[in-house]
Amino acid sequence: MRVFAFFLPLLCLAQGPVEYRIHRAPSPITIDAKLDELAWRFAPATSEFIFNWHESGDKEPTEAKLLWDDENLYVSWRCTDRHISAYEKKRHGPVSKDDCVEIFLSPNPAAVKNYYTFEINAIGTMLNRCRTAWWTGPPTWEPEGVEYRTTFHGLARKDESADDKEWVVELAIPLKNFSRDAAHTPPRAGDEWRLNLMRTGGKTNMQHSTWSPIPPTSQKSFHTPENFGKVVFVAEQASRRTARAPRSFEGAAEGRVIYNRSCTMCHGLDGAAGDRAPALGAARRYFRRSEAELYDAIRNGIKGTGMPSSPLPDADIRKMIAFIFSIRATAADVPVEGNVEAGSRVFHGKGGCVTCHMIRGQGGLLGPDLTNIGAERKLEELRRALVEPRPVPVRGYQPVTLRTKAGAPIRGVVKNENNFSLQVLGSDNKLHLLLREEVAAITYETDPPMPAGIDKKLTPDEFRDLLAFLSRQTRRSAR
């Protein structure tokens, strides 16, 4: 309940078509189907693919990313797939019967019907078409200078195998191929295109999944450019920061209402633990993490368990998924108010935090290392850690004062102890390993070392900034 009071005001965003910001590649990209460049690691993934027309089979997710530079548009697909098969070897052959990925793009948003297609199967056979009003050539098209690789590139055939897990396609398309329809070549920051990314084919679990959904009212076809999503070329380079952009949880507020109406008899109110089903927002390892998996569980139920299928409309299920994501989100996943730089100054200065806490190798040892705290805790948990007093000292942080028989006084926290020995991390930042028989006197203090009521010790702005700073501490962030 509390969690919500805290970030509900940030959740009110209108529902619209899918959108993606294409960042500039920060460094050269080698087309080898490996995606091991920092550029790819820093590029944000698109929202998850939607399974249009799904009837049966596993909904296997696809992670797609786009980047650009002055020469090329770069596209990558990472396809989770336990059954990979491909046989078509002929250029422009019917590759979509095989496990296949596709991108269809309209460089001119005012004329979406002018679009270009790239379809690539798992063994690296490509089919291209130029579906534009001006094209008078053959039904297929030869784009210039395209480079691409797939995980099984060049194999004579790919049969399904028990080892199948995933396959990757990496593609670089020279932007000059689109100069006839694009406003600028290369694009300028702010230029908007429309496109869709797809996945289809294969013998088992034929997917028909797309980044931009194809609504039930539409013709059942990928060739419906009116359904393409919107992409914007941005000047910002992909960086650690863009890799984990805080997301907004569209529809989560409505999703909460629907959830509390339909699901609380088993799952608890607001996603807390229920009598008959797991807490959907608890800090535990979830079986189901992706949008597709959650959708499947809620729409179809979970066989052999008490989890029933749901007759609710798709839109309601999507909103409940947004709600579930929002209650699972750690501090780093959500937008926060406040100034991160100013918060850093509080942490290192007036707050006195750095004397006990380390971030990125700098600071004291008495308290836990906070380098990754934004990814480990929810925003509300961070706030509570700073505000609420601990009823008793936390295990591993029990403060003690002791004197050894040799006469040395030691203050610190007990890290480990048993009948014969104890390890004390002293306020001198040294670990003291002591046998019981060496200790002359020991006092266990009742006040936990972590000060409570930090919100009272700082101004409201300082407290807000400190919280913003903590919430952005992740191993992946550059701060």
Query: Contact positions toward ligand HEC, by CB under 6 A?
Result: 259, 262-263, 265-267, 276-278, 280, 286-288, 294, 297-298, 302, 305-308, 310, 320, 347, 351-353, 355-357, 366-368, 373, 377, 382, 385-386, 390, 394, 397, 448-451, 454, 466, 470
User: CB of 454: closest distance to ligand HEC in angstroms?
Assistant: 5
Q: Rounded to an integer, what distance in angstroms lies between the CA atom of residue 183 and that of residue 178?
A: 9
Identify whether the C-beta of residue 352 lies closer than 8 Å to the C-beta of residue 346.
Answer: no
Q: Where are the beta strands (DSSP E) in 17-161?
A: 19-24, 50-51, 62-68, 72-80, 100-106, 115-121, 126-131, 147-150
**Lookup: tokens for 450:** 């972590």
Show the tokens assigned to 262: 């339909």
Cβ at position 216, least distance to ligand HEC in Å: 21
Task: Please report how close the Cβ of residue 310 comes to ligand HEC at its closest, in angstroms.
Answer: 5
Shortest separation between residue 154's beta carbon and ligand HEC, angstroms: 39
User: CA-CA distances (angstroms) from residue 217 to 68, 115, 200?
Assistant: 33, 21, 20
- Run of H or E residues at 386: helix 379-387
Of 24 and 377, which CB lies nearer to ligand HEC in the complex structure? 377
- Between 126 and 353, name the residue whose CB sits nearer to ligand HEC: 353
β-strand pairing of 439-444 with 398-404? antiparallel
Largest Cα span, the chain:
96
Distance CA 238, CA 304 (A): 44
Kindly tell me which of 184 and 390 has the beta carbon lying closer to ligand HEC: 390
Task: In angstroms, give the least distance from the CB of 334 to ligand HEC.
Answer: 16
Shortest distance, CB of residue 302 to ligand HEC, whole angstroms? 5
CA distances from 253 to 1, 60, 257, 260 (A): 12, 28, 7, 11
Residue pair 182/191 in contact by the 8 Å Cβ criterion: yes
- Residue 468 CB, shortest distance to ligand HEC, in Å, is 12
Given the complex with ligand HEC, which of 198 and 356 has the nearer CB atom? 356
Cβ atoms 101, 63 nearer than 8 A: no
Residue 94 or 451 having the CB closest to ligand HEC: 451
Closer residue to ligand HEC (CB): 187 or 367? 367
Token pair listed for 424: 């004390």
Q: What is the DSSP string of 141-157?
A: ---SS-EEEETTTT-S-
Q: CB of 366: closest distance to ligand HEC in angstroms? A: 5
Compute the distance between CA of residue 425 and CA of residue 40 in angstroms, rounded to an integer. 42
177, 167, 187: which is closest to 147 by C-alpha? 177
Q: How far is the CB of 360 from ligand HEC (least distance, A)?
A: 15
3-state secondary structure of 167: strand
Comparison of 182 and 263: residue with beta carbon closer to ligand HEC: 263
CB-nearer residue toward ligand HEC: 236 or 314: 314
Q: Select 149 or 377, whichever has its Cβ closest to ligand HEC.
A: 377
For residue 8, how many other CB atoms are within 10 A of its CB?
13
Residue 217 or 305: the one with the smaller Cβ distance to ligand HEC is 305
Q: Measured from the CB atom, is 213 or 367 closer to ligand HEC?
A: 367
Q: How far is the CB of 326 from ligand HEC (least distance, A)?
A: 13
Least Å distance between CB 207 and ligand HEC?
Answer: 21
Nearer to ligand HEC, 107 or 367 (CB): 367
CB-based contact 116:178 (threshold 8 Å): yes
Residues 6+ apart with CB under 8 A from 99: 79, 81, 83, 84, 85, 86, 121, 122, 158, 167, 201, 202
Pair of tokens at residue 241: 């920061």
Query: Minimal distance in Å, beta carbon 413 to ligand HEC?
Result: 6
Are 191 and 183 within 8 A, CB to CB?
A: yes
